Structure 1
Amino acid sequence: MEKMQQIFGIRAIIEAIHAGKEIDKVFIQKDSHGELMRELLKVLKEHNINYSQVPIEKLNRLGNRNHQGAVATISPISFADLDEVISTLLDQGKTPLFIVLDGVSDARNFGAIIRTAECTGVNGIIIPKQGSAPVNGDTVKTSAGAVFNVPICKVDHVKDAVFHLQSCGIKTVAATEKTNQNIYDIDFKEPTAIIMGSEDKGVNPSVLKVVDEKAKLPMFGTISSLNVSVACGAFLYEVVRQRL
């Protein structure tokens, strides 16, 4: 991570949150107590900011041992409002294409997905506030700067985002092997949001229950799954092929 994207110290983090900084994630020392730490936890919950409790060794590795048990990473981007992105697209008469990432937690996978999304004309990427990969130096580098060109929207829950997309006339398609329908059976010419699951568990079962369609990629090898960024690229280029 880049030092310029970090804040060290409990009080400094609280002040940054109150000042409206785009805090992406906070790392808190395990078993850390005290009134100031309780205040930080309260502020994080009030602002729905993602945090993890980690060993002190991890905090020390982040670059400043005078961290008081807390380090925050500042997002290098401003997150977009999903309602505004959808409204703008519809007002412009465009056929929306969204990616929804349901728990993709690796920053490099996230960056690779953003890079492919930018190249294929994706209008926005939707991620949950909790459990998603941070937008940090690794993300920026792997995306080759595309992170600055594609609107990224944070939502409280992926399932609620799916319902909202559907209410706006955007079809939701989950990438999952738990279906008999393959990617080439789907009509991607209409407004579409593709839901990609986490690296280890795939799309959450509760999300699978509410999507409009499910689709899988044909697999011919002995390994039963692709890296999520590669699978996402395959889906996006099928959208491109159909929309050309």
Structure 2
Amino acid sequence: MDQLTHTQTTFQKKEFPIILLLDNITGEANLGSLFRLADAFGIQKVIFCGSEPNLNSNRLKRTARNTWKTVNFEFQEDSVETIKKLHQEGYRSLAVEITSESIPLQNLNLNKEEKLILIAGNERHGVSDEVLEICNQQLHIEMFGENSSMNVAQSIGIALYEITKEMNKFHKK
């Protein structure tokens, strides 16, 4: 058994109609991880809102492993205005946040032609109240320990895995 390199895998490149909107995420290691996740799950674009990423950060670059060069991304000042604009373009917004109205991620129902905005919030404060107010839905990841929160990059990795797994089923039919 040999470990395969990137060029030796049989993974098919695919793009999913998902925009990852980062609501004031500032941690450079998290940002680097989110670039890698965006690349790994073939999402359409990353939109940084509130805090512009420092693309000169060695920590970000080291964690991203060059994916910041290949992932489509942009910066917008205002999360709420950006989401409202994307709603007008037919996107459904999903915030990954534990709220009184959030549903377990595994209970999310998707439609075949759906375009999604997956929203992740600040490392300390989560998704802002203003963003939660306009989101179509909030999702949470069921956890079984003492803590009720998870690292933002880990939670987005889990959410992207589950969502792209469901979307992939539509393409296989």
TM-score range, shorter chain: 0.7 to 0.9
Instruction: Say which SS state the counterpart of residue 123 (structure 1) adopts.
Output: strand
SS where residue 131 of structure 2 aligns?
helix
Matches for 1:27-106 after TM superposition, within 5 Å: 96-106=17-27
SS of residue paired to 1:240: helix
Equivalent residue, structure 1, for 2:46: 125
User: What is the CA deviation profile of residues 86-107 of structure 1, one whole-angstrom value per residue up to 9, with x for unaligned ones?
Assistant: xxxxxxxx75211000011001
Letter in 1 for 2:42: G
TM-score (norm 2): 0.82
Superposition deviation, residue 227 in structure 1:
0.5
For residue 134 of structure 1, the aligned residue among 54, 64, 67 is: 54
Change (3 A) 1:222 1:132: farther
User: Identity of aligned pairs, percent?
Assistant: 23
TM value normalised by structure 1 = 0.59
SS in 2 for 1:194: strand
Q: 1:42-77: CA deviations, max 9, x gaps?
A: xxxxxxxxxxxxxxxxxxxxxxxxxxxxxxxxxxxx
Partner of residue 116, structure 1: 37
Q: Deviations over 1:136-188 (max 9, x none)?
A: 22212111111111111111201011001111111110111013411112234
RMSD of aligned C-alpha atoms? Answer: 1.4
Amino acid paired to 1:160 = E
Larger radius of gyration: 1
Cα offset for 1:132? 4.0
Higher RCO (CA-CA < 8 Å; seq separation 6+): 2
Q: Which runs of 5+ in 2 are unaligned?
A: 1-14, 169-173
1:152 alignment partner AA: F
Query: Does 2:96 align with 1:175?
Result: yes
Distance 2:16 2:63 in 1: 27
- How far the C-alpha of 1:134 sits from its partner, in A, is 1.8
AA partner of residue 172 (structure 1) = S
Cα offsets for 1:90-134 (capped at 9, x unmatched): xxxx75211000011001100001101100011100012x43442
Partner of 1:185: 107
Q: Secondary structure at the match of 2:103?
A: coil
Matches within 5 A, 1:127-166: 127-128=48-49, 130-136=50-56, 137-166=58-87
Deviations 1:1-51 (A, max 9, x none): xxxxxxxxxxxxxxxxxxxxxxxxxxxxxxxxxxxxxxxxxxxxxxxxxxx
Runs of 4+ displaced beyond 3 Å: none
Q: What corresponds to 1:228 in structure 2?
A: 152
